[in-house]
Structure 1
Amino acid sequence: MRVQAFLFYGCAVFFLVTDVVYWLWSGDWTGTTALALSIGLAGLIGFYIHFTVRRLERANNGPLYEDDPEGDIADAAGELGFFSPHSWWPLFLAMSAACVALGVVFGWWLVMLGAAATVMTTIGLVFEYYRGHFAH
């Protein structure tokens, strides 16, 4: 996974060079700002992947199986994690986020209602498996 981190770092450097050239040739602040945000986002993703790989390598006491040149496909076998098979919370979260977006068009009262619903549904999504029948 270290390769993926350096791919995003490379994208950030590419966007940086492109941003400087774009700003010098066009003088357009909108495109320059968009490219600057692209630099930040690519760097952020690269930093996150790099940080996560370092943490996983410390937990495994060595490189990850995808970074091992002598590794086999069978080294990656096993459980990958827990994924919710039947959660309704993402649907409710998307509807409350859509309520916030529509509130910008129709009125600030709808933004406030949607923001409150977004906070409540986010809490429901995060703590879904801490209570009730499916608690671990």
Structure 2
Amino acid sequence: MKAEAWVFGSVTAFCALVTPAYWIITDNSAKGGDWTGTSALTMTTLLFAMCTLYLGFHASRMDPRPEDRKDGEIADGAGELGFFPPYSWWPLWCSLTLAVIVLGVVLAWWLFAIGVILGLLAVQGWIFEYYRGEHAH
């Protein structure tokens, strides 16, 4: 995780340099400057700093992974990597019901209600898809 901490640290340093430069360049005293971009860059800098601190904190307290060691081999990383789900149609239905909900907000309340009901069914199907059917556990 040290490599990831260095990457995020580099981006943090870049954003920390760019933010004041952007503020100075866009500061038109007559117009008041561009506070939106400056605040967005400031928040981006703080977000990357938070990720850098988190990764650096955990990298110093954990054993190095095989890919972090200089003498690490490919075979050292062999083993169980986790559960990777097969294909699923439920994200499609969830996105379609979200589209119906958004259209319901724009067009009519009854379409919104239908979208919420269908959305609840779609989310329920997505959550419980591994409890029954072909991919049941």
TM range (shorter): 0.5 to 0.7
Map 1:88-103 onto structure 2 (within 5 A). 88-99=89-100
SS at structure 1 position matched to 2:67: helix
Residue 38 of structure 1 is matched in structure 2 by 44
Unaligned runs of 5+ in 2: 27-32
Structure 2 CA distance for aligned equivalents of residues 29 and 69 of structure 1: 46
More off after superposition, 40-49 vs 29-38: 40-49
Residue 14 of structure 1 is matched in structure 2 by 14
Is 1:70 aligned with 2:71?
Answer: yes
Cα deviation, residue 84, structure 1: 1.0
Cα deviation, residue 28, structure 1: 1.0
Aligned pair count? 129
- Which one has a bigger Cα radius of gyration? 2
Go from structure 1 to structure 2 and tell me whether the alpha carbon gap of 1:69 and 1:13 turns closer, same or farther (over 3 Å shift).
same
CA offset digits 1:31-59 (Å, max 9, x no partner):
2133223224434544565567578x3xx
TM-score normalised by the chain length of structure 2: 0.65
TM-score normalised by the chain length of structure 1: 0.65
Structure 2 CA distance for aligned equivalents of residues 70 and 125 of structure 1: 43
Greater per-residue helix proportion: 1
Cα deviation, residue 92, structure 1: 2.2
